[in-house]
Amino acid sequence: MDELRTKYLDAIAAAADETALEELRVQAVGKKGEVSLKMRELGKMTPEERQVAGPALNALKNEINSALAAKKVALADAALDARLATEWLDVTLPARNRRVGTIHPISQVTEEVTAIFADMGFAVAEGPQIETDWYNFDALNIPGHHPARAEMDTFYTHRADGDNRPPHVLRTHTSPVQIRSMEKTGAPIRIICPGRVYRADYDQTHTPMFHQVEGLALGKDISMANLKWVLEEFFSAFFGTDVKTRFRASHFPFTEPSAEVDIQCSWEGGTVKVGEGDDWLEVLGSGMVHPNVLKAGGIDPDEYQGFAFGMGIDRLAMLKYGIPDLRAFFDSDLRWLRHYGFASLDQPTLHGGLNR
Ligand code: DAH
């Protein structure tokens, strides 16, 4: 037994790797290993002999197993030490260049518009993109039979068979937020609402999802003159140059009187320039809020009056930054985003200048 002990403990101590160690384990304590065979001989011994040899063999087996385990750990440690000695990382190397993302022109223009109107005392209001037909139409003085419903290319949600309630719609304009805001705060009120709107339309200047900004100002004596000043102030700040406006009589169910507003522009050289020349470009709808709309919002039309307007944010972005095709706005093409996008730390502010 002493011979066996010396033989295996020496061999284990000298083993060069895990394979050698495994071979030694099989030879010594495997099923047909030397120690195991010796244990089988216990059966042929007398009880007295067995009492001495049994525990001694067990102790030997345990000793060899412990030596094997300890050597295994030592080999792994040595391997790790060797790797640590050869593999290393130069943490002083300069980092690999990564491209920084950009702010989408829609987000940029929304921030610009918000900054300008905030300066004139307008707060930002929001509403849901999935609307009831009450908020999107009826409350805005557009009853069921009104042609404006058909003209808006509305997306309707699905109702289960037998459910005869009118379907919800994807809001076709930001005007329903007028009603929601009136309900929430009552008059007086001064808000803008930038947001997504939806219509089933698709060509170079139309996408099924686009963006509008709604404006609403109600008070005891707010007039059309205030509307004109606010809009001229806005366009001049937005385009960074004095912009003349032209009000054309028009019709919207939710305003009376109603006006479409054009801004001064030139088409010289095939590109449009805002704030110069003798041409006009239509950019928004507006008017004095219809008494029926005030009533729908819970406001007394004999006490309060005011103006509202709605314009396309995407359109403003195309005009200001010379972007020709609206569809590209929503293609998520990285080349386009890098070209037309804005630096993320370059927040638009009035004092910092909105133009670049
Ligand atoms: N909601 C209209 C549209 O989507 C735009 C509009 C016109 C909004 C006149 C108004 C308004 O607030 O007074 O075409």
- Residue 136 located in a structural domain: yes
Per-residue pLDDT, 249: 97
One domain, residues 63 and 119: no
Place 152 in a pLDDT band, splitting at 50, 70 and 90.
Answer: confident
Q: How many domains does the chain have?
A: 2
- Tens of pLDDT, residue by residue over 268-300, are 887 888 888 899 999 999 999 999 999 999 999
Going from the Cα of 137 to the center of ligand 1, the distance in angstroms, rounded, reads 12
Question: Tokens 């139309």 map to which residue?
Answer: 206
141 lines ligand 1 (CB under 6 A): no
- Tens of pLDDT, residue by residue over 250-261, are 999 999 999 999
Distant-in-sequence, close-in-space partners of 228: CB < 8 Å, separation ≥ 6? 245, 247
Average model confidence (pLDDT) across the chain: 92
Domain range for 43 is 2-86
- Residue 170 located in a structural domain: yes
CATH value at residue 133: 3.30.930.10
- Chain CA centroid to CA 29, Å: 63
Going from the Cα of 175 to the center of ligand 1, the distance in angstroms, rounded, reads 6
261 by DSSP, 3-state: which? strand
DSSP 22-51: HHHHHHHHSTTSHHHHHHHGGGGS-HHHHH
175 lines ligand 1 (CB under 6 A): yes
One domain, residues 77 and 200: no
One domain, residues 147 and 61: no
One domain, residues 110 and 238: yes
Contact in structure between 110 and 313 (CB atoms under 8 Å): yes
Task: Look up the pTM and report it.
Answer: 0.73
- Residue 140 located in a structural domain: yes
Going from the Cα of 259 to the center of ligand 1, the distance in angstroms, rounded, reads 10
Place 347 in a pLDDT band, splitting at 50, 70 and 90.
Answer: confident
- Domain boundary among the residues 55, 86, 117 is at 86
- Chain CA centroid to CA 336, Å: 18
Question: Tokens 């033989």 map to which residue?
Answer: 7
